[in-house]
Amino acid sequence: MKRKVILLRDASSHQVEPPAAAPSPLPAASWGAHTPPLVDGLGRPLRDLRISVTDRCNFRCSYCMPKEVFDGHQFLPHASLLSFEEIARTARVFVQLGVRKLRLTGGEPLLRRQVEQLIEPLAALQTPDGRPVDIALTTNGSVLARKAAALKSAGLRRVTVSLDALDDAVFQRMNDVGFPVAEVLDGIDTALAVGLGPVKVNMVVKRGTNDQEILPLAGHLRDRYGDQIRLRFIEYMDVGATNGWRMDEVLPSTEVRTLIQSRWPLVPLEAETRGETAERWRYADGRGEVGFISSVTRAFCRGCNRIRLSTEGRLYTCLFGSQGHDLRGLLRSGADDAQLAERIHQVWQGRTDRYSELRGSTEASVATQPRIEMHYIGG
Ligand code: SAM
Ligand code: SF4
Ligand code: SF4
């Protein structure tokens, strides 16, 4: 049966709107009451902004954009997308409000034409105390070999590459468009060669689909790259409403870790930053590190300091959100930076999300609310 994609947007979202006003300088005094970092309704600071630059993708990973739903899907028209100027301006306001990490994602971010032109202004951003902002991009790696040098010269510091299998047949089944694994591996090599390392590699594990690839992928990455690659195992999540998620297809991180440890002993590492999602371990023999992101079996909402900006300029305070908050209307209506900051402040202050902690609980609202799709708000 064909499942329907639910994208919750304003009815006005497809209207063509006038271009953004030129960014105005930030009047420091006007931030007044909102001394960063902002804290939400559960006392969590705002530190991490994920920006989806396109809702399109050339892969059809079954856990994210299943083919039977997304082939023939109406993606957003160009006029609905935030322009690079609008994104850069919004990011600048977020940085003034305490954001320290920017992540470009999608859809497939490298499909947005000349995305490197967006990286330049983002890489130039500084925190109020003059430090550089941590900027990275998450990609399926399909065109990374071609783009890596331009991304690096534009100021990108790191990339995360999603890679769910080493075996070509399994990988092609996972991306469901017959894309060869060799080209993604080539993208990783090129990223490292141009200085975008260490590269994080994300593997979403689906029990019965690619769990046989855990050891081969880990073995290949540690043997070939050592500490230049940080492999992260991600539990398959019930994000969106189209992937037909079932709990019995989730392989808990503890099982993945036990499997890895049976081959290569691991030593736990301390968290580097607050709000870190991965539990990190290093190989006892010094061949690098692995991490486990246990969004399903060990929720980390308590430290969640992320906000997401959708392709068309809606803010989502949780990956499992249903109603975003429109920022594009404000951006295009001539609002100044202080007004933007005020809106962001309101949204963050009103935030009480903790979906993963409540998953499976009897709180009916959590289970039954429609959820936004991952490719639309970014992972
Ligand atoms: N297209 C890029 C990519 O695949 O890296 C960026 C966007 S993708 C939505 C971001 C991350 O979300 C990827 O690492 C992907 O594997 C992960 N992801 C997507 N759907 C997921 C799901 N249902 N459960 C867990 N992770 C998921
Ligand atoms: Fe595309 Fe990334 Fe989603 Fe796969 S996970 S379909 S590559 S957006
Ligand atoms: Fe953050 Fe929502 Fe994920 Fe919890 S479920 S960690 S609040 S994004």
Per-residue pLDDT of the chain (379 residues; tens, 9 = 90+): 444 444 433 333 333 233 333 334 444 434 444 567 899 999 999 999 999 999 999 999 999 999 999 988 999 999 999 999 999 999 999 999 999 999 999 999 999 999 999 999 999 999 999 999 999 999 999 999 999 999 999 999 999 999 999 999 999 999 999 999 999 999 999 999 999 999 999 999 999 999 999 999 999 999 999 999 999 999 999 887 788 889 999 999 999 999 999 999 999 999 887 777 899 999 999 999 999 999 899 888 999 999 999 999 999 999 988 889 999 999 999 999 999 999 999 999 999 998 888 876 655 445 556 777 777 776 6
Ligand with minimal distance to 239 CA: 1
Q: Residue 3: what pLDDT? A: 47
Ligand 1: centre distance to CA 379 (Å): 5
Range of the domain at 342: 8-14+36-377
- Convert 150-169 to b/e letters by CB count within 10 Å (16 or more is b): ebbebbbbbbbbbbbbbeee
Q: Residue 241: what pLDDT? A: 78
Q: Residue 25: what pLDDT? A: 40
Q: Residue 268: what pLDDT? A: 97
Ligand 3: centre distance to CA 224 (Å): 34
Q: Please state the atom number of ligand 1 nearest to the C-alpha of residue 202.
A: 14
State whether the beta carbon of 318 lies less than 6 angstroms from ligand 3: yes
Is 27 a member of any domain? no
Which sign does the torsion angle of CA 89, 91, 92, 97 carry? positive
Is 364 a member of any domain? yes
Q: Residue 22: what pLDDT? A: 37
Q: Please state the atom number of ligand 1 nearest to the C-alpha of residue 59.
A: 1
Ligand 2: centre distance to CA 372 (Å): 15
Give the pairing type, strands 279-283 and 289-293: antiparallel
Is 178 a member of any domain? yes
Distance CA 5, CA 65 (A): 10
Distance CA 196, CA 228 (A): 10
Token look-up 């029990």 returns: 207
Q: Please state the atom number of ligand 2 nearest to the C-alpha of residue 175.
A: 4
Is 30 a member of any domain? no
Ligand 3: centre distance to CA 8 (Å): 19
Dihedral pair phi/psi, residue 60, rounded to 5°: -130, 55
How many structural domains are present in the chain? 1
Distance CA 265, CA 169 (A): 29
Distance CA 58, CA 75 (A): 12
Amino acid at 116: E
Q: Please state the atom number of ligand 2 nearest to the C-alpha of residue 58.
A: 1
Ligand 3: centre distance to CA 34 (Å): 24
What is the reported pTM? 0.90
Is 3 a member of any domain? no
State whether the beta carbon of 356 lies less than 6 angstroms from ligand 3: yes
Ligand 2: centre distance to CA 61 (Å): 6
Ligand 3: centre distance to CA 274 (Å): 15
Residues in contact with ligand 1 by the CB-under-6-Å rule are 57, 63-64, 105-106, 108, 138-140, 162, 202, 204, 234, 236-237, 239, 243, 374-375, 378-379
Indicate which CATH number applies to the domain containing 83.
Answer: 3.20.20.70
Ligand with minimal distance to 358 CA: 3
Indicate the top mutation candidate among 57, 147, 202, 205 to test ligand 1's pocket, ranked by most ligand atoms within 8 A of CB. 202
Is 317 a member of any domain? yes
* 266-268 sheet: strands from edge to edge: 266-268, 279-283, 289-293, 229-235, 199-205, 158-162, 134-139, 101-105, 48-52, 306-309, 314-316, 325-326
Is 327 a member of any domain? yes
- Convert 84-114 to b/e letters by CB count within 10 Å (16 or more is b): bbbbbbbbbbbbbbbbbbbbbbbbbbbbbee
Q: Please state the atom number of ligand 2 nearest to the C-alpha of residue 70.
A: 6
| Measured CA distances, 144 to 96, 171, 235, 374 (Å) | 31, 17, 25, 21
The token pair that represents 379 in the structure block: 């992972």
Q: Please state the atom number of ligand 1 nearest to the C-alpha of residue 378.
A: 9
Residues in contact with ligand 2 by the CB-under-6-Å rule are 57, 59-61, 64-65, 106-108, 140, 162, 375
Query: In this structure, are residues 255 and 292 in contact, taking their beta carbons and an 8 Å threshold?
Result: no
Ligand 2: centre distance to CA 278 (Å): 20
Give the pairing type, strands 314-316 and 229-235: unpaired
Is 146 a member of any domain? yes
